[in-house]
Amino acid sequence: MLKLENGALTVRKTNEQLTEEILLTLDLELPADAAVECEAGLAFDSMEDINVYLEGLDS
């Protein structure tokens, strides 16, 4: 999951106890529409899917 919280974009994983674990904190400036989406949290199936999404923001 990608989640924007307090200005920091984080990659999170839900563990077996259904709590979120922060795997990475990214220092990126997001376009306004992507920031709104990430504030709500965007679920992905893999880190590769997250990478594809982030690369798509650059183009």
Q: What is the pLDDT of residues 33-59, one digit of tens each?
A: 999 999 999 999 999 999 999 999 876
Number of structural domains found in the chain: 1
Cα–Cα nearest to 44, from 56, 29, 28, 30? 56
* Model confidence pLDDT, tens digit, residues 5-40: 988 999 999 878 888 889 999 988 899 999 999 999
pTM of the entire predicted model: 0.80
Give the pLDDT score at 33: 93
Q: Which domain holds residue 25?
A: 2-58
Q: Is the pLDDT of residue 3 over 90?
A: yes
> For tokens 């982030």, what's the residue?
54
Q: Which pLDDT belongs to residue 59?
A: 65
**Which CA distances in Å does 42 have to 6, 53?**
16, 10
- Judge whether 50 and 9 are in contact, CB under 8 Å: no
* CA-wise closest residue to 8 among 31, 27, 36: 27
**pLDDT at 20 (0 to 100):** 85
